Structure 1
Amino acid sequence: METKVGRIKLGTQGLEVSAQGLGCMGMSAFYGPPKPEPDMINLIHHAINCGITFLDTSDVYGPHTNEILLGKALKDVRDRVELATKFGARFVDGKAEVRGDPAYVREACEGSLKRLGVECIDLYYQHRIDTRVPIEVTVGELKKLVEEGKIKYIGLSEASASTIRRAHGVHPITAVQLEWSLWARDVEEEIIPTCRELGIGIVAYSPLGRGFFSSGPKLVETFSDGDARKVRSHNIFDECPYNRTILVLVDS
């Protein structure tokens, strides 16, 4: 008998999601080569049947191919899931770029709606903050998209406490996504308390240390050339030896 994952309120704006989410990035990008599409669609359907209905993607994953994958997977089950995607981070000629200007916000949203095959995105995050554009301007455009029925709730990813507070003053922010694990606890100093004060939900990404806490140090040996963690593993261990100590304790 399968155990169903419970449900929780995310933030205080009315969004209800499964207590456990499914991050879909690694199906298409960054963690090695893209996985077989039929297998990933089956995985998504299995997660939904287990009650894991909070699905997370971004237009930068692939780019675009992860959203397309989800669009195919959700054709007959859209009404059973809470769909989150992101905008604002992209690669141009191999270089990372961040965009938060109103025209781009709207263009990105329209693109995601089309790729996902949906009329409305449940939770739309600004993936990275464009420091060239006041957050009030970016959120102002997101507010218009809410009013137009193209998105239901607004989120931020990797934003400072002050940015979160300013954004929340323009339109209620439903959730903030950030890296939070035994390896990444600096967010507990200011960002987490700010979110709790404002009634903003917290969505932790990489809570298992990008796979290390579930697989142990030998995970490095399995990385393919296309796995971004292959490069980052040097930074994780060599530049912060304490991380290895934490990993050993978890692994024991």
Structure 2
Amino acid sequence: MQTRTLGSTGPVVSGLGLGAMGMSGVYGEADRSESIATVHAALDAGVTLIDTGDFYAMGHNELLLAEALRGRERDSYQLSVKFGMLRTPGQGFGGVDARPAAVKNFLAYSLTRLGTDHIDIYRPGRLDPAVPIEDTVGAIKEMIDAGHVRYLGLSEVDAATVRRAHAVHPVTDLQIEYSLISRAVERDVLSTLRELGVGLTAYGVLSRGLISGHWTAARGADPGDSRSHSPRFSGENVEHNLVLVAALRRVAEAKGCTVAQLAIAWVAAQGADIVPLVGARTRERLAEALPAMDLDLTAGDLAEIEKAVPPGAARGDRYPPAHMAALGVGN
């Protein structure tokens, strides 16, 4: 496994990270034993960066990871944890709380659930419109100074917010959706990150499976699967988007790889300061993703990929309207 450095001040991590959200029911029921086995397989393959959130199934994901990581040397992996998004009974969302007192409260619970004395990268899951980012970052800085957190991260904010946060304490990385069909980060955020020496961890590199090469219009999403509410997976949108995947498949076949590997490799090829996160829930999907980091994309390959999936070609927003309103950047 190749490694990459997160920003100019951050840690050295595996070139590919594991996003654990899908192991806690967001895409329908997941197999607990298989999820734990997948975490073990990722660690054994050299994956060190594991991303979670305290709001993923109301702490379930953190408890799952605590079980999967038990017995592993703590410095052999890095935990990236998001906080602040409030939940309600019935799996709903109730806004964001990033007040300084809440930051410390959320952190205390995460440390306990994860069974660790520190979080490697701690970040608000979304911007709290009622709290200046400087106040939130100031609280995380206190936790860094106290040894409970090692690095500051951000998630789904715009370039101006990155600058404001970075002025209080160096930001290690911004976690934001980035894929062949979600490229809003390229407009002004990516250049700002590079100017400031901030890394990028890219989630949604397969657009929740839509551009993995495994999704079909006939498959649909189960009621318990969040994709059943996603504009990109609905009606005519999904049919249009799968035409893009078919074009991408032709490029992948010519390259001798899978569609998923090509899509992951494309994100990784956008810069050595970018670390793709894959949301593999099974060892099979993880095994498919891992070789993507060794896929060498030439200028000709990148041109063919752009031709197959031009910027802005996808239909549908990446989240339902209520969730889009909380994002710092669009599609």
1:238 and 1:198 mapped to 2: Cα distance?
Answer: 41
Q: Residue 82 of structure 2 aligns to which amino acid in structure 1?
A: K
C-alpha distance in 2, partners of 1:60/1:133?
19
Hey, what does 1:88 align to over in structure 2?
84
Determine the C-alpha separation between the residues in 2 that align with 1:70 and 1:60: 14
Amino acid at match of 1:49: D
- Output the TM-score relative to the length of structure 1: 0.92
Mapping of residues 1-252 of structure 1, within 5 Å: 5-33=1-29, 35-77=30-72, 78-93=74-89, 94-218=92-216, 221=219, 223-233=221-231, 238=236, 243-252=241-250
Deviation string, structure 1 residues 226-252 (Cα, Å, up to 9, x no partner): 110122155667469864443232233
Select the structure with the greater relative contact order (CA < 8 A; seq sep ≥ 6): 2
Does structure 2 retain, via aligned residues, the 8 Å contact 1:25–1:66?
Answer: yes
Displacement after TM superposition at 1:92 (Å)? 2.9
1:220–1:233 Cα contact (<8 Å) kept: no
Q: Is the 8 A contact 1:236 1:243 kept in 2?
A: no
Cα offsets for 1:162-203 (capped at 9, x unmatched)? 001000000000000000011111110111111111000100
Structure 2 CA distance for partners of 1:136 and 1:240, relative to 1, 3 Å: farther
Asked whether the equivalents of residues 211 and 219 of structure 1 are also in contact (C-alpha less than 8 Å), the reply is: no
Q: CA deviation at 1:109?
A: 0.5
Aligned with 1:225: secondary structure?
coil
Residues 234, 169 of structure 1: CA spacing in aligned structure 2 closer, same or farther, 3 A cutoff? closer
- Given that 2:210 and 2:242 are in contact with CA atoms closer than 8 Å, whether structure 1 keeps it comes out as no
- Say whether the 8 Å CA contact 2:174–2:200 is kept in structure 1: yes
Judge conservation of contact 1:237–1:243 (CA < 8 Å) in 2: no
Per-residue displacement from partner, 1:50-87 (whole Å, max 9, x unpaired)?
A: 00111010011111000000011111113311111110
TM-score in terms of structure 2 length: 0.71
Matched position secondary structure for 2:138 = helix
SS at match of 1:27: helix
Amino acid at match of 1:153: Y
Residues 85 and 93, structure 2, Cα contact 8 Å, conserved in 1: no
Deviation at 1:107, TM superposition (A): 0.3
Alpha-carbon distance in 2 for matches of 1:245, 1:222: 16
- How far apart are 1:213 and its partner, in Å? 1.6
- C-alpha contact 1:89 1:127 (8 A) present in aligned 2: yes
How far apart, in 2, do the equivalents of 1:70 and 1:190 lie? 35
Q: Is this contact kept in 1: 2:217–2:239, CA < 8 A?
A: no
For this pair of structures, how many residues does the alignment match?
247
2:258 counterpart residue number:
none
- What secondary structure, in the 3-state scheme, does the structure 1 residue paired with 2:147 have? coil
C-alpha contact (below 8 Å) 1:217/1:247 kept by paired residues: no
What SS does the corresponding residue of 1:57 show, helix, strand or coil? Answer: strand
Taking a change above 3 Å as real, the CA distance of residues 247 and 236 of structure 1, as seen in their structure-2 partners, is farther
User: Contact 1:54–1:84 (CA<8 Å) still a contact in 2?
Assistant: yes
Q: Structure 1 pair 84/97, CA: closer, same or farther in 2 (3 Å)?
A: same
Q: In the alignment, what sits opposite 2:276?
A: none
Amino acid at match of 2:163: R
AA aligned to 1:109 is L
Over the matched positions of the two proteins, sequence identity in percent amounts to 39
